[in-house]
Copies of this chain bind each other. A is one copy, B any other.
């Protein structure tokens, strides 16, 4: 029943279980890139480790290697030129399936222990992963470290905790004794085995290659499934480092490293063939609605856990902290140039303006003041580039360029020169205003630093519009600013009906686009933006099955 790695990490696992129950603040992974925690040379060593990958083949001893591929373009303009082994998908699947029975026999406790050891190693390599995340995604350094490192590890650990929580409640053996009146009882001995469903495919996105994949990777692995990670073509390196570390831990534990492998697949048709392979029993996907819908429609042999697009929105009805509200929103819209799935896109403001502690503010004043707040916040080039990072994709650059077509420009986007990376594509957010009737503008996801201040009739209309946006287009996050309890109650009811998380009157150091593992559910699974949540029982419970056997015991 017990396993050395389970014993080693049991206290962490127990604390994680406590955390998902109580949902207070907790983490074993320090979010500050502190030399005291991670070592005096951790930053240099991590950077050097990443740079050592440049211009070479990334070594990963996987079966079926047929050549190399890799065309990552750094949003910071750094030449990466890392080549990754391309492996025959069938070979990866066969190897993964071959590794499964042994992984099943390790048992839930052993699997949890191995997963925690992997997470612990990933944590120790946070600087290396952070540099890889930063260079491939365009995230600013601090975000790359936190979201790419400890926060991603938190979400992985959270999934392991849920998986253990479910699996540990399944008894391995039972004696069933049914009384038969005056006759001897019927007695049956029963055994219950936890068995994974089969190969788990995890498809990563280009912006959060670790944060958005670790939940699926660790949920699947902990519940007995081998995992194949198919990273976004522009963010392979963080996944490759992750896979390498996982394979090292597995091998050291005497297990088959092919339980975790990397599938570098260049053509969409090849990804589609992989996703519809009969052996693939679950798919975790973060990305576009188009490919997400394709997966849901076509990968019918698998359970698909999908995080798709949405139209996150904030209702501003009134506030007693006008400046702090604007500051909070300015940061939200600027962080990683709005390239978070949780960034606010539509800010719904009554046509008649809002009451504030600074007096009544007209609709145009609110829009202009928010523009000014963003502009001021990004006034220092060092702050600006640290917060904004760089633009991850050509498509987002194109959307910023054409944003003027979507509405009235309140604050135009500017191209900034990065003091450290001269070729970096840095853009400040563009803020637009439009009327609620201009649904074509603001009611589809405009991924990137493009937001709309939307003119609605009044507070009630704003709440109704927010609810409709969530129901029809989905949202991971919704916010509200109001001083009225009746308004807060109405918005609360609207979000319960629409199925979206609500942040109310954020004016301090917490932002609507941030979610904290062990406390905030990321996504509800109840609206079109995602059919699952990081993490809850539903995210793990159907990734394994219980197979029983029974026989007479008397």
Contact = CB atoms under 8 A, between A and B. Distances in A.
A24 B542 contact: no
A537 B496 contact: no
Interface in A90-104: 101, 104
Interface of A: 21-25, 101, 104, 165-166, 169, 171, 174-180, 186, 188, 190, 192-193, 195, 197, 296, 300, 492-493, 495-497, 499-510, 516, 519-521, 524-526, 533, 536-538, 541-542, 545-552
A519 B24 contact: no
B547 A504 contact: no
A199 to B, nearest CB: 14
A146 to B, nearest CB: 13
A176 B25 contact: yes
Given A25-B176, A508-B552, 5 more contacts: A190-B520, A492-B549, A503-B550, A504-B551, A537-B537
Nearest to A175: B24
15 contacts: A21-B169, A23-B176, A104-B496, A169-B537, A190-B519, A296-B300, A495-B549, A496-B547, A499-B547, A504-B550, A508-B552, A510-B550, A510-B552, A524-B547, A525-B542
A326 to B, nearest CB: 16
Given A23-B190, A24-B177, A166-B537, A550 B520 contact: yes
Contacts of A545: 499, 524-526, 533
A507 B495 CA distance: 57
A498 to B, nearest CB: 9
Nearest to A532: B542
Contact of A186 (B101, B492, B509): B509
Contact of A502 (B21, B510, B548): B548
Contacts of A23: 171, 174, 176, 190, 192
A525 B548 CA distance: 12
A537 B541 contact: yes
Contacts of A21: 169, 171
Nearest to A27: B178
Nearest to A178: B25
Top 7 A-B residue pairs of the complex, sorted by shortest distance between their CB atoms? A538-B542, A23-B174, A504-B551, A526-B545, A502-B549, A537-B541, A538-B541
B186 A508 contact: yes
A549 B25 contact: no
Contacts of A193: 496
Nearest to A537: B541
Interface centre among A177, A497, A546 (most CB of B within 10 A): A546
A462 B499 CA distance: 51
Contact of A521 (B101, B537, B548): B548
Interface centre among A25, A165, A195, A501 (most CB of B within 10 A): A25
A361 B23 CA distance: 64
Nearest to A524: B545
A547 B500 contact: yes
B22 A195 contact: no
Contacts of A525: 542, 545
B500 A24 contact: no
Contacts of A524: 545-547
B533 A186 contact: no
Contacts of A537: 166, 169, 537, 541
A266 B507 CA distance: 58
B538 A504 contact: no
Given A177-B24, A190-B520, A510-B188, A499 B195 contact: yes
B519 A546 contact: no
A190 B502 CA distance: 10
Contact of A501 (B104, B496, B510, B547): B547
A96 B28 CA distance: 45
Contacts of A516: 176, 178
Contact of A22 (B25, B171, B296, B502): B171
Nearest to A32: B181
Interface centre among A508, A519, A536, A550 (most CB of B within 10 A): A550
B176 A552 contact: no
A550 B533 CA distance: 17
Nearest to A545: B526
A551 B509 contact: no
Given A533-B546, A546-B533, A195 B25 contact: no
Nearest to A180: B509
A510 B195 contact: no
A170 to B, nearest CB: 8
Contacts of A493: 101
A551 to B, nearest CB: 4
Contacts of A500: 547
B550 A546 contact: no
Contacts of A551: 503-506
A549 to B, nearest CB: 4
Contacts of A538: 538, 541-542
Given A524-B547, A545-B524, A174 B509 contact: no
A103 to B, nearest CB: 12
Contacts of A169: 21, 165, 537
